Amino acid sequence: MKLKLIILLSFLFFSCSKNKKTTDSVTTSSDSLSYYYNLSQKDKLDRVDVLRNLDKALKISENLKNSPEKRNIVADMAFKYYDLGQDNQFNRSSDILLEDSYASKDSINLGKAYRCKATYHKKIQSLDSSYYYYLKSEKLYYKRNDQLILANILLNKGIVQYLRSDFLGAELSLTRAYTIFKDSEKKDKLYATLNQFGLVYNELKEYDKAVFYHNKALETVIEFKLQNEEHQEAVCYNNLGYLYLKQKNYLKAITNFEAALKDKTIINDDPDLYALLIDNLAYSRLQSSNYKDLPNLFFEALKIREKLNDPTVVVGSYIHLSEYYQKTNNNSESIKYSELALKKARGSNIANNVVLALKQASIVDKKIHLTILTNTSK
């Protein structure tokens, strides 16, 4: 599931003078910063030219004296780098903004810097650091009584807490976010909060609550016409399907996954989501001894995931293929895919991947099973 962080920007608008002395020459470092940043904002510039001008402005800012104008421009640059997916420059500009804002006691830009740092660390899965910066920004925006930005911080802090397996903490953060979003015009954020509630209650094994919140999220998408290229309806159906899959209600799981896949644009807009849906559908069918389109759906999901270069989901595909061949009494193929899962898991250096791959390998391969028994008995 993909949730995009909404960052409320405070753009500065610079007037463009026609005075030749201003436009044709850059006389100071401060002027240079404004000059190159403004160039990056011009209409009809391609991505390469936008980044070239932003990077020049960033380089100038690194050696420029701290000032309100510099901090405001660097803040806008950070948001621009985020929008462009330039993680390194986003982080560097956030560092500059944080250092200067802290030194000058500029609480407005310091809040922006904390949010940027939290977002960066969340993206690279440095969850402790992300949580730290969300806490910092939460305190600032609470003091300023900026309710919508505070709610957005609480939502994202809740997501980070969920990823850190702090489910009760996530529930508390999401509850505070919900109380603000429910009466606001930010219905997309209300949807995201309801959806995250569903995920949290799923992990807490409070399945009735999880179903309730995923259904409320779906109702919100439909009522307020929120569906866009992020395919919110499909996300809701997938989450409901996964809930039913965990409860071994395979018919309801299949119904929800199939409902999501009625949207034929997902495969192009979001291959990751499409692969997740067809893999979940295939696994639900396998568990109910319904072999329609198997193992083709598993292989289709695997092909997409290999291109996306995410080892965790590739390991999952290999394990599901191993389970398929195990259930259809093709032991050699089952062992083959369990070995591929284990190899990929070890290469990923992610402990949970290795645990899951070893579990499947020990089931289908007697040699691995005996090795594990021998090691645990020592």
Q: How far apart are CA 135 and CA 261, in angstroms?
A: 38
Give me the mean pLDDT over the 346-351 stretch: 91
Tell which of 105, 126, 147 closes a domain: 126
| 295 within a domain of the structure (yes/no) | yes
| 194 within a domain of the structure (yes/no) | no
Q: Does 248 share its domain with 272?
A: yes
* Residue 86: per-residue pLDDT: 97
- Helices assigned H by DSSP within the chain: 20-24, 29-40, 47-62, 68-83, 87-104, 107-123, 127-144, 147-163, 167-181, 187-203, 207-223, 232-246, 250-260, 266-269, 271-287, 296-308, 311-327, 331-348, 351-364, 366-377
Q: Does 301 share its domain with 371?
A: no
Q: Does 352 share its domain with 375?
A: yes
Backbone angles phi, psi at 12, to 5 degrees: -95, 135
| 6 within a domain of the structure (yes/no) | no
Provide the domain count of the chain: 3
pLDDT digits (tens, 9 = 90+) for 172-226: 999 999 999 999 999 999 999 999 999 999 999 999 999 999 999 999 999 999 9
Share of residues in the chain with pLDDT > 70 (%): 89
Tell which of 126, 145, 174 closes a domain: 126
* Residue 369: per-residue pLDDT: 57
Give me the mean pLDDT over the 46-58 stretch: 96
pTM: 0.83
Is the CB of residue 203 less than 8 Å from the CB of residue 238? no
| 359 within a domain of the structure (yes/no) | yes
pLDDT digits (tens, 9 = 90+) for 112-161: 999 999 999 999 889 999 999 999 999 999 999 999 999 999 999 999 99
Q: Does 277 share its domain with 332?
A: no
Give me the mean pLDDT over the 318-344 stretch: 97
Q: How far apart are CA 341 and CA 10, in angstroms?
A: 47
Domain that holds residue 325: 310-378
Q: Does 288 share its domain with 314?
A: no
| 336 within a domain of the structure (yes/no) | yes
> ∠ CA(210), CA(213), CA(219), 5° rounding?
140
Q: How far apart are CA 86 and CA 280, in angstroms?
A: 32
Q: Does 299 share its domain with 232?
A: yes
User: Residue 71 belongs to a domain with what CATH number?
Assistant: 1.25.40
Tell which of 126, 156, 182 closes a domain: 126
| 261 within a domain of the structure (yes/no) | yes
pLDDT digits (tens, 9 = 90+) for 212-226: 999 999 999 999 999
Whole-number mean pLDDT of the chain? 90
Q: Does 325 share its domain with 298?
A: no
Q: Does 273 share its domain with 360?
A: no
| 168 within a domain of the structure (yes/no) | no
pLDDT at 21 over 60: no
